[in-house]
Structure formats: structure tokens, C-alpha cells
Chains A and B, each alone.
Chain A
Amino acid sequence: MLNQKDILSTIEMIDQQHLDIRTITMGISLLSCCDPDPARACEKIYEKIARSAERLVRTGEDIEREFGIPIVNKRISVTPMALVAGASETEDYVPFALALDRAAKTCGVNFIGGYSALVQKGMTAADGKLIRSIPEALARTELVCSSVNVGSTKAGINMDAVALMGRIIKATADATADRDGLGCAKLVVFCNAVEDNPFMAGAFHGVGEAERVINVGVSGPGVVYHALQSVKGQPFDVVAETVKKTAFRVTRMGQLVAQEASRRLDTPFGIVDLSLAPTPAIGDSVARILEEMGLETCGTHGTTAALALLNDAVKKGGVMASSSVGGLSGAFIPVSEDEGMIAAARAGTLCLDKLEAMTCVCSVGLDMIAVPGDTPAETISAIIADEAAIGMVNCKTTAVRLLPAPGKTVGDTIEMGGLLGSAPVMPVHPESSANFIARGGRIPAPMHSLKN
């Protein structure tokens, strides 16, 4: 039976602690859109997305109103485009990105993900064409997000792809130099990419997925932060229990919204992603949760342990609250999108090396980090290789989303606005990794990939 205290606590979470559903993402398979004629394929892609997601935004808004819970984003993910465009006889894949952008605008969603290629073991001709088109595709579209999977625990790391992605990230920044290299905020390089991730920029609709599916990403750093304020000074067992209870509540709400959206849109429910996703708003920060555990500033000694506890407790609390958990599910640490991370980076406490250590225990990786515009492509590739190695060996997803802002250097800040926030430019090591990256080839999969 409901009591007044519970009802008011929910309202306080929504009003004052930024509790929201971060995204309802509809995954749509585009495999049926393959066509030898690229113009015809683009037309099929546009039509299928516009038809499938016609009611997505309106339904999201209805649910938002009836349940009184904000649903911040409505998004679409599609089959990795290299698989679809590969059937067409063309060298130029940019029209496929334009078709996605046009469809996303028609549906009224705020991002569409899946301009992607999966090249962890090798690269097809289509994968190569798609990757080389990314800079132009992201410069000429507004809503399209791109991802490339360069490694996996099973396949190892494709170092040719890693080398190429360093150059592609630089080219993407240059192609959007007039907007501080904003294109790079829509491009993520993965190891162990997941097929049902609802969060951008890395969302795509995997080939093992159904025709259409609804995935939901919850949020709630503010709620966890608030809950931890009531257990100041108590042992970590109490901290973990408190996070678990909070994550359970937040996830139950996500499950309810996911089921309701699935029913109304007549689309199967896929997963709830249990990620703690911060925003630049005050009081909605993962860094502040870590500081609430007793750290003076995020990034100091103890940060990795605090994040490990948080990430694990979020999963344990959430997993019982949903019939199907998936996606990335953990704590995100995007620097530019987290007010506490921005402050810690500005103070110089949070550096790239510490962030790399933190990615060993969090759900994704080096995310939304501004680096100097003159960072060599090989250095970016080497950062990707390090991150992919962490993912490969630890059987987890890792990702890199770096922003080498043209003309900017350490001490500058790049402003992206909205949920993307602002990022202080962080230093990278000046010593060269060029000879390392020039080797190419493949880093073999680790011994423990041989599980059969």
C-alpha cells in the first residue's frame, strides 16, 4: 500500500534530484533496405525509419505526461550502416548518412545512431568506405552518430583500424573546425561494443536483434548522491547497500516506462540499461557521488576504488528490478557532461591517466575528453589502443570519444552546449607513439578468450 512519504519522496527525486529517464531508443533493423542502387537503398532506409518510428516521440511525450517523469531523449538506433550500404554499387556512403539525418528529423528524435562498422577482426571493402566517409558524414549531418568497433575479447584488436581511426578522428575535428570539432562528440571507437546499447553516440541495432525493439536508458546520479548524504561517515557496506536500494527504485521506474512504451508502440521490449548517466546540471554528477564517499576532489587517490564500488552496486541493485538488463549498465564518466568532472579536470586533479585507470572499473571508457588540437593522430590511436586493451583483457566494453579541438590547447575550454556540456582541454603525453602505431596488424585475443 502506498504511503504519503513514498509518494513525496518520488516527487522530490524528480523535482530536486534530476531523476529522469535518459532515453527511449527504438532499434530498427535496416537489413531489408539493401539495394544495388544506392539512391533506392537510401529511399528504403528513409521510408522504413520514418514509418517504424513515426509515433515514437509522441508516445514518449504521452508517457512523460501521464507518469510525471521526464523522458529526456527519444532516439533511434539502426543496423550498422556498413552492412546495409555494402550491397550498393557506390564509392560514396555520405548519402546514407544524409538519409538517416533526414529520417531522424522527420521523426523528431534528437539523435540517430548506427553509422557504424564492426571491424574487430578485419575490414570489408564496405567497412573501409564507411569509415573513410565519417568526417564528411558527421560534418554534413546534425543528428547522425557514428561508431566503430576495433577490438573484442574474442577477436583481439585490429591495429590497422586503430591507426585509421586516429586519422579519422582528426579529420572529423577538422571538418567541423568551425564548431570546435563538434563532429567528434558524435563519434565513438569501441572495444566489445554491445548490440543493444540505447545511449549515444555508440548506439546501433545489432544483427542479432529483432526487426524492431525498444531499449530504455535510466539515469539518476542526483538521486544516488542525495541518498549517500544520509549515510555520511558510515562503512562501505552501508554505502553499497544504499546505492543498491536507490538503483533498484530507479530501475523499476525504467522498467515500467520501457514496458509501457513497448506496449503502446507495439514493439518488443529489449532491455533496460542501468547506467548512471550524468548531465552538466549541478547535482546530477557522478564525480560528486565519488566525492561524497570521502574524496576531496574526483581524480585523487581512492577514486578508482570508489568508482568500482559504485559501478558494481548500481548493477546489483538494478538487475533485480528489470526483466532484462543490457546495454552498457554501469556508471558513465564523460568529462564534459559531468559538472564535477569538469571542475576536477579544471583543478588539475583529474588527468587522462587517472581517467584511463577509472575506465577499468566503469561501464564505458574515455568519454568526451577534450585534448589539444595539435595532438598527433598516432597519439590518439595509441590512446584508443590502450583503452581497447583494457576492454579486451577484462571482457568489458570500453570506448574512446576524444575531442581534439582545432586551434585549442591546454587551458582552453570547448563549449558544446546542452547535454554535451563543456570540456577543459586536458594534456596528453608529448612523447611519440608513432612507431608503435605504424606496425599495424592485429593484437591477438587473450588466452581467456578460448573458453569453449
Chain B
Amino acid sequence: MNAIVTVVGQDRVGIIAAVCTKLAGYHVNILDISQTILQGSFTMVMAVDVGGASAPFGELQSALAALGEEMGLSIRIQREEIFNAMHTI
């Protein structure tokens, strides 16, 4: 099952490293990463495969949100279907 991780906030050293380490810790495989600075804000979108994740989706979500709070960022993970439904026919 694929999901989308989005990270938005003030740019700083180590954001990608921290998010990737957290995901690796849960056996979540990263399929694609795109990152940019949008209107001064760090913005990263990752497509990930949570099929082999070592924890339920809710736990993964809480762990990422907690990491976000720690680093002053908004980090969320959502199932990919919601974006497909809204933007593709």
C-alpha cells in the first residue's frame, strides 16, 4: 500500500535525514522524493510503500507527527488514494 508523506516548515539542517531515518526504523520503503523551497518554506513530498511497515498506520502517523513537533515542522502521512481521487480521472 502506497502513502504520501508531506513535510512543510522552516528549512534547517537534517530534515531529510531525520524523516528518512524515522521511516527506515518502521521498515517503510521510500519510492520517490521531491523537495523544494516554496515561498521560503521547506516543502518535501515523498511517495512511500507502507506494505511492509513494522507498525500499524496510526502508530506510524503519530511517530511522524511527533517528529514534526520536535523539529518545528508539519509532517503528515496519508494514503495515496485520496490524492488520486481528487486529481486524476
Contact = CB atoms under 8 A, between A and B. Distances in A.
B29 interface: no
Contacts of A255: 85
B78 A253 contact: no
Given A4-B43, A7-B4, A7-B45, A65 B61 contact: yes
A6 B85 contact: no
A324 to B, nearest CB: 16
Interface size class of B (residues with CB under 8 A): 20 to 34
Contacts of B81: 67, 256
B57 A252 contact: no
Contact of A66 (B6, B57, B83, B87): B57
Interface string B35-70: 010100001010100000000011001000000000
A62 B56 CA distance: 11
Interface in A213-267: 249, 252-253, 255-256
Chain A contact residues: helix, strand, loop or mixed: helix
Nearest to B35: A4
Nearest to B81: A256
A8 interface: yes
B13 interface: no
A2 B84 contact: yes
Contacts of B36: 4
Q: How large is the interface on A (under 10, 10 to 19, 20 to 34, 35 or more residues)?
A: 10 to 19
Interface in A53-80: 62, 65-69
Contacts of B82: 10, 67-69, 253, 256
A61 to B, nearest CB: 9
B45 A8 contact: yes
A253 B58 CA distance: 20
Contacts of A69: 78, 82
A219 to B, nearest CB: 14
A11 B6 contact: yes
B41 to A, nearest CB: 10
Given A4-B34, A65-B58, A67-B79, A249 B87 contact: yes
Contact of A10 (B34, B47, B58, B87): B87
A11 B76 contact: yes
Interface string A166-186: 000000000000000000000
A65 B87 contact: no
| 6 residue pairs, one from A and one from B, having the closest CB atoms | A68-B78, A6-B87, A256-B85, A252-B85, A67-B82, A249-B86
Interface of B: 4, 6, 8, 34, 36, 38, 43, 45, 47, 57-58, 61, 76-88
Interface of A: 2, 4, 6-8, 10-11, 62, 65-69, 249, 252-253, 255-256
11 contacts: A2-B80, A4-B43, A4-B45, A7-B83, A8-B38, A8-B43, A10-B82, A11-B6, A69-B78, A256-B82, A256-B85
